[in-house]
Each structure stands twice: as C-alpha cells, then as structure tokens.
Amino acid sequence: MPDSHPIGSGPSRHDKIIEGCLQVICEFGVADTTHRKIAEAAGVPLGSITYHFKDLDTLIHAAFEQFVVDNVNWCARQFQGVDSFESAQAALLRVFSPNDKTIVLGVEIYCRALHSEAVAGVFSDWLASYNEIYSRFFDDSTTRITDALWLGMVLNRNSEAEAHPDTLVALALERIVLPESYIGPK
Amino acid sequence: MPDSHPIGSGPSRHDKIIEGCLQVICEFGVADTTHRKIAEAAGVPLGSITYHFKDLDTLIHAAFEQFVVDNVNWCARQFQGVDSFESAQAALLRVFSPNDKTIVLGVEIYCRALHSEAVAGVFSDWLASYNEIYSRFFDDSTTRITDALWLGMVLNRNSEAEAHPDTLVALALERIVLPESYIGPK
C-alpha cells in the first residue's frame, strides 16, 4: 500500500477509502454497501479499492476498527482532567450524547457482530474500552450498569422518532451514578 | 388457509410454520433463514410454506409479530396482581430476566427493523407495549429510563460471554426505580 503513509499533506487514498466506506455504511447500512458506492463517496477509482482491500468484508472490518479507535479516543478525551464526582458526571453526560454518525455506526457494528466473528471482536473491544475508561472513575457495578444504559439509550434513540431529551439522560445518570460510586481518577 | 383454525387439537400447519420460522431465526439469524430450513424445523412439506405465506419476508414478518404478541402477553402477566411498590419491583426483576429465545429474537428484530419498514413497525409496537405496561405503575421518566436499560441489558447480554448477574440487575433497578416513581396500578 504505497500511499498509506503519504509524504504530502491530506489523507492517503487508503484513509479516504476507509472514510468513504464509513459514509456509505451510515447512509445505506452494511447490507447495501458496495465497492461502487464506496469509490464514489471516497472520490477514488473503483479499482483502487480492491488494490488496498482484498474484499468488501476486509474493508468493512477495517472501517469499523478505525471508527472504534477514533470513538474511544473521543470518549477518553471527555474524561481528560476529570478529578471530582461533578466533573466525572459532566463527562458522562457528554459521552451519553454521541453524534448521529456514532449512533448509526454503533448499531451497524452491533448487528454485523452477530454474524461475523471478526466484527464481534471489534464490538467487544469497543465495549471493553468504554468499560475501562468508566472503571477509572466509578466502581465496578456502576460501570457495568452505565455501560448497559449507554447501549440501550444509543440503540433506542436510533429507533425512536425523538431522541431522549437531555433532561432524561441527566436524570438517568443522576440515579445510577451515585456520589459514593466515584472512586477516581485511578 | 384452510387449516388456520383446526377442528382437532394441536397446532395448525400455519402455526407450525410460524413456530418453525422462529426456531430457524433463533438458530441461524434472519440472514440465513430459508424456506427449506423452516420446512424441516416445522415438519411440513416445503410447498406448504409458499401456500401459506407469499414470500419469506411475509413469513418472517408474521413470525416476529407472533413473537411480540406472545412476549407482550408474558410481560403483562408478570404484572398481574401488582398492587405495591415491592410487588412492582419484583415484576420488573422477572421482566429483566428474559429467556435466551427472547434475547436472540429481540436482537434479530432490532437488526431487521433497521432495513425493513414493516419490521420497524413490529419493533416499535413492541417497545410501545412494554412502555404502556410500565407506565401503569411508574412515572413517565422512570418508565423511559427503565425501557432503555432493559434494551441495553438484553442487547448487551447477547454479546457478552456472561449474562449480567441477577444481583447487578437488581442493583440497577433499585437505583433507577425509586419508591416515589411508583404511581400504580393505573
């Protein structure tokens, strides 16, 4: 992959394909993702995709991996500088308001993970990373309950006409994450 | 459908096909569900399936509908006779421990709903029915948070090696469902 590490600025073709793939998954779902649509979204020649990725499964897997790495980094950033129960609460509130792209891709990974062992690994790594971040600030039970609620709210929000209002999210976290659950930063 | 309402005892062929279809979805997922597998699971001739259901989508839709009706009835039964906060708590604990079949089918409906408007309708009816049952006993915010947690715990449990232990479920409900949330039975 000669252009994986470009000398000039701007994303490499490899990265453009990954980004295009995520865009197509967001818009059409994994089931309707094709080489042709990805090439169009990425603005690259169709043939370059098979040059970089041996098949569609490999590309989708790589795209999900990239998404999870970026999303976990985002989550970790929300907890940067957290040093009190109140600042941890505020960080959780941000984590519980993911953008639409995260919601749609999260759902697609979840569903794909049911039928692909490789993607199942990506999905469980994702959950484990969130778990690891939470567990630096909250006790084990609270971490696990918060995890389940996050998944439920994300997956539910995707299928509801109306997103959960911020006040409901805040109330849920207030009930689940009690001051005595705070143990961090570890 | 001449045998939809059998005179004798035992399930009609129509019902056997529905039941077989749910079995196959549980074992293989919607993506790998075929007429042949359903006929085998139901113990009926292959041709009888196309006689009763015009195509596979129609059959899968009907099977999901049947599952949701049965599951909502089961949920409602858990709340029968509930007349105090404590008995409502106990009912919720039962509802939060669905059997494996419910978990797998719930996940399959969820994923199918993303790409089929008809199944999306079945899925949102399912959520709405649970919501309606909860709301006879708990205030609106608690109902919605409980709903999200249920979905998260069910979907999470499916992808975790180990189910959430009962003590964790009980702790989550204890935190979310406060005595002052109880408003029922309405």
Q: Which tens digit of pLDDT belongs to each residue from B154-178?
A: 887 766 656 678 899 999 999 999 9
pLDDT at B153 over 90: no
Contacts of B140 (CB under 8 A, 6+ apart): none
Determine contact: A178 vs chain B, CB below 8 A: yes
Q: Name the residue of chain A whose CA is nearest to B121's CA.
A: A159
Kindly state whether residue A84 falls inside one of the protein's structural domains: yes
Non-local CB neighbours of A101 within 8 Å, separated by 6+ positions: A22, A26
Cβ-Cβ contacts under 8 Å, B144 against chain A: 164, 168
Residue A99: inside a domain, yes or no?
yes
Which residue blocks in chain B are alpha helix, DSSP H?
13-28, 35-42, 46-52, 56-78, 85-95, 100-113, 117-135, 140-159, 166-176
Q: How many CB atoms lie within 10 A of CB B174?
A: 12
Question: Encoding tokens for residue B23?
Answer: 């079995």
Query: Domain of A139: which CATH number?
Result: 1.10.357.10
Backbone angles phi, psi at A120, to 5 degrees: -60, -40
Answer whether B107 sits within 8 Å of A114, measured CB to CB: yes
* Token pair for B144: 């919605």
Phi first, then psi, for residue B170 (nearest 5°) are: -60, -40
Residue A81 belongs to a domain: yes
Here the CATH number for the domain that contains residue B41 is 1.10.10.60
Instruction: Give A32's DSSP letter.
Output: G
pLDDT confidence of B11, banded at 50, 70, 90? confident
Q: Which two structure tokens, joined as six digits, stand for A94?
A: 């941000």
**CB within 8 Å: A114 and B120:** no
Residue-number span of the structural domain to which B169 is assigned: 68-181
Quickly state the pLDDT bin for B49 (edges 50, 70, 90): very high
CB within 8 Å of B3: residues ≥ 6 apart = B12, B13, B14
Number of domains in chain A: 2
The pair of three-digit structure tokens given for residue B83, joined into one six-digit string: 């007349």
Domain identity same for B162 and B80: yes
Q: Has residue B110 been placed in a domain?
A: yes
| B58 occurs within a structural domain | no
Indicate if A131 and A92 belong to the same structural domain: yes
Of B141, B152, B172, the CB nearest to A151: B152
Q: Yes or no: say if B97 and B169 are a contact pair by the CB < 8 Å rule.
A: yes
Given a cut of 60, whether residue B123 has pLDDT beyond it is yes
Q: Within an 8 Å CB–CB cutoff, is residue B176 touching chain A?
A: yes
What confidence score (pLDDT) does residue B1 get? 47
pLDDT tens per residue across span B68-91: 999 999 999 999 999 999 999 999
Query: Does residue B63 belong to any structural domain of this protein?
Result: no
Average pLDDT of B9-31? 92
**Pair A165, A138 in one domain:** yes
State whether B83 and B170 are in the same domain: yes
The confidence score (pLDDT) of residue B10 equals 76
Do A77 and A142 fall into the same domain? yes
Q: CB-CB: which of A111, A159, A172 is closest to B123? A: A159
Q: Tell me whether residue B60 is in a domain.
A: no
| Per-residue pLDDT in tens (0 to 9) along chain A, 186 residues | 445 555 566 789 999 999 999 999 999 888 889 999 999 999 999 999 999 999 999 999 999 999 999 999 999 999 999 999 999 999 999 999 888 899 889 989 988 888 788 999 999 999 999 999 999 999 999 999 999 999 888 887 766 656 678 899 999 999 999 999 999 899
Q: Specify if B61 maps to a domain.
A: no
Q: Looking at residue B4, what DSSP letter applies? A: S
